[in-house]
Amino acid sequence: MSTMTTAAPTFAKARGSRKLKNNLATVLVSLAFALALIPLVWLLWTVISKGAKVIFHGDWWTTDQSGIANDVAGGGVFHAIVGTAEQVAICTIISVPVAVLVGVYLVEYGRGPLARITTFMVDIMTGIPSIVAALFIYALFVTTLGGNRAGWLVSLALVILMIPVIVRTTEEMLRLVPNELREASYALGVPKWKTIVRVVIPTAMSGLITGVVLGIARVAGETAPLLILVGYARNTSWNPFGSGYQGALPTMIKDQFQNINTKASGSVGYHLNDKGERVAGAAANYATDRMWGAALTLIIIVMTLNLIARLVGRRNKITS
């Protein structure tokens, strides 16, 4: 008993090596964060500073690249936006119903072996690299069925990448819907399917939309399927089922990148003008500007989608 009265409890500050270690850890942790900011700021600055000069040009958004040589300024991304939008739209139309139904199955019905196998397969699907998905579509539709490369095949490859993203968010969101809602509906004699369609899904709707938009943002910037499954066209091609050539934003970036490297070597002492005469000095090359412009356009689109997803998600009424 006496020991309790002898000394009032005093909290000794950490001293010596303990204090040193603690401070060191604080510094390192803060440093790690600062280190992560460097590439982000650097990358965004590069893309914005180099891309901004072309995208504010009026015809950037309304014209395509047909007939525009490297030494000519101008041209736009219209063809690429058309291609990307069509391919992603087809992909979304296929992915969303399938993925939402799978999510519903896993949460509302899933018991027994089929549910376990489905979860496992969705896990595998999450890990499939985009180039493998593209190879599969190529092996199935081009080598086996003898089809041609086309924009819609890209959509099919993107479906493989998009489904697991949406299944995961759907699953998460449906699990957050309070069971009381389902029970109340059942108690009113509402059949299970109608409960899911009219009560559970509307309740989780904003979460589902967030998942879909994030899925779209993920596949919009995918390049590997485009390399394998469709050729790049510089003119606007509206038909994703046709000729085998369709522009898209990632392949436009790649195309302009290659134009820089093949045509703009600094060692060239002369170039040919419009009349075919030799003129001293290397030709001006506008491919660099267009490459960064296309990159900035892609970032703007993807970031806008992410922002939309976040805003919709914030309206989510269910909280975990």
Per-residue buried b or exposed e for 158-176, using 16+ beta carbons within 10 Å of the residue's own CB:
bbbbbbbbbbbbbbebbeb
233 binds other proteins (CB under 8 A): no
Nearer to other proteins, 89 or 121 (CB): 121
User: Kindly report the CA angle at 234 between 228 and 238, in degrees rounded to 5?
Assistant: 80
Return the bridge partners of 231, or none.
Answer: 245
Binder of other proteins out of 87, 92, 169, 195 (CB under 8 A) = 195
d(CA 49, CA 58): 18
Nearer to other proteins, 279 or 307 (CB): 307
81 binds other proteins (CB under 8 A): no
Asked if residue 87 lies in contact with residue 155, where contact means CB atoms within 8 angstroms, the answer is: yes
Which residue from 318, 263, 314, 307 is spatially nearest to 288, judged by alpha carbons?
263
228 binds other proteins (CB under 8 A): yes
7 binds other proteins (CB under 8 A): no
Q: Can you tell me whether residue 271 is helix, strand or coil? A: strand
Q: Which of residues 152-181 bind other proteins (CB under 8 A)?
A: 160, 163, 167, 177-181
Nearer to other proteins, 68 or 135 (CB): 135
Q: Can you tell me whether residue 231 is helix, strand or coil? A: strand
52 binds other proteins (CB under 8 A): no
Binder of other proteins out of 165, 213, 253, 287 (CB under 8 A) = 253
Residue 277 main-chain phi, psi, to 5 deg = -90, 150
Nearer to other proteins, 2 or 261 (CB): 261
Binder of other proteins out of 61, 62, 194, 241 (CB under 8 A) = 194
Nearest distance from residue 64's CB to other proteins, in Å? 19
Nearer to other proteins, 82 or 133 (CB): 133
Nearest distance from residue 248's CB to other proteins, in Å? 11
Query: To 10 degrees, the CA torsion angle through 33, 34, 35, 37?
Result: 90
217 binds other proteins (CB under 8 A): yes
d(CA 92, CA 208): 13
Nearest distance from residue 196's CB to other proteins, in Å? 7
Asked if residue 105 lies in contact with residue 122, where contact means CB atoms within 8 angstroms, the answer is: no
Applying CB under 8 A, the span of 70-78, 93-101, 233-241, 273-281 interacting with other proteins comes to 93-101
d(CA 37, CA 27): 15
Read off the tokens for 139.
Answer: 């092996």
Nearer to other proteins, 82 or 216 (CB): 216
Asked if residue 127 lies in contact with residue 194, where contact means CB atoms within 8 angstroms, the answer is: no
d(CA 158, CA 249): 15
Return the bridge partners of 279, or none.
Answer: 271
**DSSP label at residue 245:** B
Binder of other proteins out of 73, 198, 241, 284 (CB under 8 A) = 198
Nearer to other proteins, 91 or 122 (CB): 122
Binder of other proteins out of 1, 4, 8, 40 (CB under 8 A) = 40
Asked if residue 65 lies in contact with residue 235, where contact means CB atoms within 8 angstroms, the answer is: yes
Q: Which of residues 296-315 bind other proteins (CB under 8 A)?
A: 298-299, 302-303, 306
Q: Which of residues 9-38 bind other proteins (CB under 8 A)?
A: 11-12, 14, 18-19, 21-22, 24-26, 28-33, 35-37
Applying CB under 8 A, the span of 63-71, 182-190, 233-241, 273-281 interacting with other proteins comes to 182-190
Q: Which of residues 110-149 bind other proteins (CB under 8 A)?
A: 114-115, 117-118, 121-133, 135-136, 138-140, 142-144
